[in-house]
């Protein structure tokens, strides 16, 4: 009679925190950098600090439309005894300002240079222009009002964006505000991806009995694109050990990471894990999480070079591959790209549902924020129900063996932090 190894003979499943720690410990920033135009640097990662060559703003500016004056010239002004000053100049934004003569006011606009000699700006609503070229003030302003001081935002020679920053739209605006037309960035991470499963078909192809459409290809390719990776899609590989090994060898040549989907479990048609072991090594396999237990991490040899390409094998179920990508592949890729902070922000939120029984693994439950600010749970948490990822706003990080009671505060990771 044939026997199978006892479950207890397998290595224990790794806790999610330990598994992520191992991945990040192994990740090293890829070699190579390039200089790109600031307009084209969205989502790239800085390879060097950005230091400001100037103060921002580079001069004192008005933060209101109004009148630049010397506060002392309006001493004693009141509703009953307004003080009128002649308007000596008009200063739109972008135009030079002459020194303000004592006893005069300058018409000034938001963002314009405050003229030398002026120490305050009175907003136009608090002044009354007369027909004879004067302006009357009915109160005494405090010195410094409505003036943005030179360097109030950025001081010259300060680091405004450190190396390792992933460039958001607002970061690009900040770089542009100090005159940076180009930025030094880390080269793109090169990822080869392929999918295993004889049952997989592409949209547009007919579905024979037993076949399914390859949704993972679209999800994962899009996630990689969002991260700014340079992607080589090697398509669907037949469920054969020789075909899988040959594809791994090709993928290792010019890529930093090989990402696969499917074939990392223990079935007779799951060839990815033995193929990687034959072409390299598996250093981590099976995570104590739901969905997504059969996640593999290792490396594949690059021919005779003596170097390796990293390998991550994702499970084939669509929700499992989606969740494991967000929780493990995303931070790993960001670390390869040189990002220093790869940890998503976690929100403490109220559960507006009950789950009477917890799982022995760390669960990541698809949930949505409701109108009262609590969380609703998607009704079917199966790893095959991709609808939950579109319906939901994020994942509840539920510890092992923990039942959730309505009203309890839970850990919630919004998709906006992960995608």
What long-range pairs does 297-306 form, CB within 8 A, spacing at least 24?
A: 297/19, 297/22, 297/23, 297/26, 300/248, 300/249, 300/251, 300/252, 300/258, 300/276, 301/252, 302/252, 302/253, 303/249, 303/252, 303/253
Q: Alpha helix (H) ranges present in 111-269?
A: 169-177, 215-226, 241-253
Examine the domain organization and report whether 202 and 299 are in the same domain: yes
Tokens representing residue 361 in the block: 């693994």
HEC readout, 123-140 = EHHHEEECCCCEEEECCC
CATH number at residue 168: 3.90.105.10
Examine the domain organization and report whether 181 and 39 are in the same domain: yes
Tokens representing residue 275 in the block: 């193929």
Are 319 and 378 in contact by the 8 Å Cβ rule? The answer is no
Cis peptide bond N-terminal to 57, omega within 30 = yes
Examine the domain organization and report whether 181 and 325 are in the same domain: no
Q: Stretch 93-114: mean pLDDT, rounded?
A: 97
Domain closes at, from 186, 203, 238: 186
Nearest to 212 by CA among 230, 193, 197: 197
Examine the domain organization and report whether 378 and 408 are in the same domain: yes
Cα separation, 66 vs 114, whole angstroms: 11
| Structure confidence by residue, pLDDT tens digits, 131-174 | 999 999 999 999 999 999 999 999 999 999 999 999 999 999 99
Examine the domain organization and report whether 303 and 234 are in the same domain: yes
CATH number at residue 357: 2.40.340.10
A 10 A CB-CB count for 187 gives 18
Cα separation, 121 vs 127, whole angstroms: 11
Looking at the whole model, is its pTM more than 0.85?
Answer: yes
Average pLDDT, the chain: 94
Residue 404 has pLDDT above 70, yes or no: yes
CATH number at residue 297: 3.40.980.10
1 in any annotated domain: no
Q: What is the largest CA-CA distance in the chain?
A: 111
Examine the domain organization and report whether 171 and 214 are in the same domain: no
Q: Stretch 72-83: mean pLDDT, rounded?
A: 94
Cis peptide bond N-terminal to 45, omega within 30 = no
Examine the domain organization and report whether 141 and 173 are in the same domain: no
Domain closes at, from 283, 306, 336: 336
CB contact set of 20 (below 8 Å; sequence gap of 6+): 327, 328, 331
Q: Stretch 232-243: mean pLDDT, rounded?
A: 93
A 10 A CB-CB count for 393 gives 16
Examine the domain organization and report whether 205 and 182 are in the same domain: no
Examine the domain organization and report whether 240 and 309 are in the same domain: yes
What pLDDT, on the 0 to 100 scale, is given for residue 303? Answer: 79
Cα separation, 183 vs 164, whole angstroms: 12
Examine the domain organization and report whether 39 and 178 are in the same domain: yes
Domain closes at, from 336, 359, 374: 336
| Structure confidence by residue, pLDDT tens digits, 187-229 | 999 999 999 988 999 999 999 999 999 999 999 999 999 999 9
CB contact set of 354 (below 8 Å; sequence gap of 6+): 403, 404, 405, 406
Token pair 């899609």: residue: 233
73 in any annotated domain: yes
Examine the domain organization and report whether 13 and 122 are in the same domain: no
Cα separation, 106 vs 119, whole angstroms: 12
What pLDDT, on the 0 to 100 scale, is given for residue 12? Answer: 81
Token pair 């003030």: residue: 137
Nearest to 105 by CA among 80, 79, 133, 132: 133
316 in any annotated domain: yes
Residue 349 has pLDDT above 70, yes or no: yes
Q: Which residue range is the domain that position 179 belongs to?
A: 33-55+156-186
Q: How confident is the model at residue 269 (pLDDT cuts 50, 70, 90)?
A: low
Domains: count for the chain: 4
341 in any annotated domain: no
40 in any annotated domain: yes
Token pair 């008009």: residue: 90
220 in any annotated domain: yes
What pLDDT, on the 0 to 100 scale, is given for residue 280? Answer: 96
Segment holding 348, helix H or strand E: strand 347-350
Tokens representing residue 39 in the block: 């307009």
342 in any annotated domain: no
Q: How confident is the model at residue 263 (pLDDT cuts 50, 70, 90)?
A: confident
Cα separation, 32 vs 107, whole angstroms: 53
Examine the domain organization and report whether 193 and 305 are in the same domain: yes
2 in any annotated domain: no
């Amino acid at each position: 009679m044939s026997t199978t190894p006892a479950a207890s003979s397998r290595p224990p499943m790794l806790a999610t925190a330990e598994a992520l720690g191992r991945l990040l410990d192994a990740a090293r920033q890829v070699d190579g950098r390039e200089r790109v135009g600031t307009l084209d640097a969205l989502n790239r990662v800085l390879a060097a600090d950005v230091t400001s060559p100037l103060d921002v703003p580079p001069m004192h500016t008005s933060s209101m439309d109004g009148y630049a004056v010397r506060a002392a010239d309006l001493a004693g002004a009141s509703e009953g005894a307004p003080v009128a000053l002649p308007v000596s100049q008009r200063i739109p934004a972008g135009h030079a300002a002459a020194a303000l003569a004592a006893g005069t006011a300058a018409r000034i606009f938001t963002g314009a240079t405050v003229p030398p000699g002026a120490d305050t700006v009175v907003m136009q609503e608090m002044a009354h222009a007369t027909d004879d070229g004067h302006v009357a003030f009915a109160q005494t302003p405090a010195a410094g009002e409505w003036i943005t001081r030179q360097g109030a935002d950025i001081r010259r020679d300060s680091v405004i964006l450190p190396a390792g920053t992933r460039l958001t739209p607002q970061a690009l605006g900040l770089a542009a505000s100090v005159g940076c037309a180009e930025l030094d960035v880390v080269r793109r991470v090169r990822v080869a991806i392929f999918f295993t499963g004889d049952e997989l078909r592409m949209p547009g192809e007919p579905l024979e009995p037993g076949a399914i459409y390859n949704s993972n290809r679209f999800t994962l390719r899009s996630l990689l694109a969002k991260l700014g990776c340079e992607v080589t899609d090697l398509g669907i590989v037949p469920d054969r050990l020789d075909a899988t090994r040959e594809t791994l060898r090709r993928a290792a040549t010019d890529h930093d990471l090989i990402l696969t989907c499917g074939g990392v479990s223990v079935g007779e048609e799951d060839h990815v894990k033995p193929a990687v072991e034959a072409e390299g090594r598996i250093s981590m396999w099976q995570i104590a999480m739901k969905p997504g237990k059969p996640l593999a991490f290792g490396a594949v040899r690059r021919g005779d070079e003596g170097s390796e390409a990293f390998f991550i094998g994702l499970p084939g179920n669509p929700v499992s591959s989606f969740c494991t990508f967000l929780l493990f592949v995303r931070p790993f890729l960001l670390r390869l790209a040189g990002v220093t902070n790869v940890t998503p922000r976690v929100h403490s939120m109220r559960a507006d549902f009950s789950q009477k029984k917890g799982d022995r693994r760390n669960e990541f439950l698809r949930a949505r924020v409701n109108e009262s600010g609590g969380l609703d749970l998607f009704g079917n948490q199966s790893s095959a129900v991709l609808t939950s990822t579109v319906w939901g706003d994020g994942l509840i990080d539920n510890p092992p063996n923990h039942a959730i009671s309505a009203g309890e505060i839970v850990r919630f990771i919004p998709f906006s932090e992960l995608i």
